[in-house]
Amino acid sequence: MEFFVERDRSLRSREPLAITQPIRLEDAVTVQNEYGWVEEITSTYVVIRLWDLRRLIVPINFFIQQPFYNWTRRATADIGNVLLYLDYVAPIERTCSKAIELVGQSTQPGGRLVSAQVTNATPNAIELRILLTGANTAVTSDLCAEIREKLIGFLQRECPQALPRQRQEMTDSSMTESSASKDRKRFDDPQRA
């Protein structure tokens, strides 16, 4: 009896999904902060193919009960992203303006910049994400590669300080310890005496 109750609940949870169709195969979605494409829809779960080819398995009723982003709900254009890791001194507005200019100059069909924003910050770098659309998956992939390459070239030529770097900070105490260590080595070494 328990099986039939659970099965009935499962069937009822799918009814709104079938009626509203918030997702379709190959829709680009963001679920639980993961971006990917709907690869499979079963009676109990949905498989999301993530950008790095991992698979996120989500219960079917999640799409009725929880908010999520469907980037291709009304349009068939694919959305791709370009992630750049930049130094904190990077000129964000200038880089975003250059991305808009480069997308406008591209010969890829249907190419359009959706958004450009800083999406993460670590102790060493900031993450600039640029979302692009293209006429289809192949065009979007090519457009992303083209814009990534051209933005890196732009940053190398015109804003080299924007590229990520490793920093070490010397403090007075570390300089004092360093010079004291050198002095000890000099006096401990019989060859130098």
Which residue, 53, 70, 87, sits at the end of a domain?
70
Torsion sign (Cα): 137, 143, 145, 148: negative
CATH code at position 20: 2.30.30.60
Per the structure, the complete domain to which residue 107 belongs is given by: 78-162
Query: Rounded CA gap, 162 and 87, in Å?
Result: 5
Q: Round to whole Å and give the CA distance between 190 and 121.
A: 50
The pLDDT value recorded for residue 5 is 43
Q: pLDDT per residue over 55-73, tens digit each?
A: 999 999 998 889 898 877 7
CB under 8 Å to 62, separation ≥6 — which residues?
Answer: 31, 46, 68
**Three-state secondary-structure class, residue 20:** helix
Q: Quick one: angle between helices 137-158 and 92-105, nearest 10?
A: 130
With pLDDT > 70 as the criterion, what percentage of the chain qualifies? 76
Say if residue 143 is in the same domain as residue 108.
Answer: yes
Do both 124 and 60 map to the same domain? no
Enter the DSSP assignment of 98.
H
pLDDT of residue 27: 87
* Number of domains into which the chain is organized: 2
Claim to verify: residue 56 and residue 108 sit in the same structural domain = no
| CB neighbour list of residue 38: distance below 8 Å, 6 or more residues apart | 23, 24, 25, 26, 27, 29, 46, 47, 48, 49
119: CATH? 3.30.70.1130
Question: What are 76-89's pLDDT values in tens digits?
Answer: 557 889 999 999 99
pLDDT digits (tens, 9 = 90+) for 119-158: 999 999 999 999 998 888 788 889 999 999 999 999 999 9
Same domain, 55 and 84: no
